[in-house]
Amino acid sequence: MSWRLKLKFWGVRGSIPTPVSQNLGYGGNTPCLEVRLPNDELFIFDAGTGIRELGIALKNNPADAERDIHLFLTHYHWDHIQGLPFFGPLFNPKVAMTFYSTCYACALRESLAGQMTDPYFPVNFDAVAANKQFINKGPMPVTLGDLTVRPFPLHHPQGAGGYRIESGGASIVYATDREHGHTKLDAVLREYAQDADILIHDAQYTPEEFQRFTGYGHSTWEEAVNVARECNVKQLILFHHDPNHDDQMISRIVEQARAHFPNTEAARESDVLAV
């Protein structure tokens, strides 16, 4: 097989789902990524509303219907966990789910359980059928078969982590929910993004919008381009689209970014990339 990592986007929107017609070209679901290896092993990153459709796809594929789930979370703001209560495998007694997090955000199990308690959700997190494990690896890498996931801290309110995902010499760097301007953490990101095949980078704001939203924890296409150029990245994917940016706006942002880094795309739901 000619690829080593395959990536599919199930949710690409930031902050809140936007299922409105003018946003559906790129997608209105909040963050969720699927990563597969050539042996078909499956790994999921973030549990925004996009994870619901992923769960349906897994259920409808006999090879995936009862597979164990490895879910890596960047942090626990609602747009990154709000799809979990609607993820079908969570309720399947034949599925084991392992949740991974880093030391860069708050407690793992308690944070997920908190959104499924009275009066917010009718089914308690402890009552769901899937076998659950919770692993907070801190800054240590996780190796699962041929996949290695290396966490690193990001500058974001209440903490967040990014991941460098590696297998067979290929690498994807997932750096959503990151605000630039923190000297130490800006350098950390560049260390982990070095020579990545794909960099998925927060680009919620335009440079003009960023002036108004400094401190909200998000970045710009301009900063994403800077990281990609400085780190010898092969392909840049702009991610965590602002809920107020419609398809036309995102396409304009992509064109602006391509003027500085030609191999730039905006993350689009259902798109598949392989390296």
| Mean pLDDT, each 10-residue run in order, the chain (275 residues) | 93 97 98 97 98 98 95 96 97 96 82 94 92 88 96 95 97 98 98 98 97 96 98 98 98 98 98 98
Q: What's the pLDDT tens digit per position in 231-248?
A: 999 999 999 999 999 999
Q: Does an H or E element contain 191, and which? A: helix 183-193
CATH class belonging to 6-274: alpha beta
What confidence score (pLDDT) does residue 107 get? 85
pLDDT at position 103: 72
Boundaries of every domain in the chain: 6-274
- The pLDDT value recorded for residue 129 is 87
* Alpha-carbon gap, residue 20 to 8, rounded angstroms: 22
